Amino acid sequence: MKLGKEPLRSSKPIYVFNATPVIHFSKIGSLNLILEICDAFITTEVYLETVTRGENFPDSLAIEEAVKSGRLKVYEVKMGNTVKTLLKHGEIHKGEGETIVAAKELGGTAIIDDEEARVIAKVYNVKAAPGCLFLLFRLLKLRKIDTSEAKNMLERLIKSGLHLDPETLLQAYRRIEQRLQSHR
């Protein structure tokens, strides 16, 4: 590398996950699948939520293994004061605040299921995507799964405890069906 040149970055997008996506994709045995499509990060707080405080849950073992193998990196935010500012919004908890700040620091996308947290991220000019559904459709778009697998994965995510309002769930199924129709 020549002096003054930036090191080459991966061609994969940088995703900083809040707890919900890693927990639910781990519960359904698909954590590795989402880690294949990005440079994946969680923050220290999300690690504490999902592994340390979640140590009695089977999904925490898969998350811990992904961290140990280096496929999921733990990132410590540098702008702690910004996290504190975000926490003044009653809708934001520490894991979401750190996820938003880490995405900004890393130049990535915050993957957060909570809509209010995504709105706040956008107010702070941080790119945010709607968590589990974003990842499901990203896997489908990248052809890591087909439409049948997407339906099955959505059902398994719901059974794992992922909460979606009925309208959002119906829209997700319709979107999968549209994809199926367009590929016939």
pLDDT digits (tens, 9 = 90+) for 27-78: 999 999 999 999 999 999 999 999 998 777 778 899 999 999 999 999 999 9
| Domain that includes residue 28, residue range | 14-136
Q: How many domains does the chain have?
A: 1
pLDDT digits (tens, 9 = 90+) for 69-109: 999 999 999 988 888 888 888 888 999 999 999 999 999 99
Is 151 inside a domain boundary?
A: no
pLDDT of residue 68: 96
Q: In what order do the strands lie in the sheet with 128-129?
A: 72-75, 39-43, 14-17, 109-111, 128-129
CB 133 within 8 A of CB 50: no
Is 152 inside a domain boundary?
A: no
Is 47 inside a domain boundary?
A: yes
pTM: 0.89
Q: What is the CATH number of the domain that holds 94?
A: 3.40.50.1010
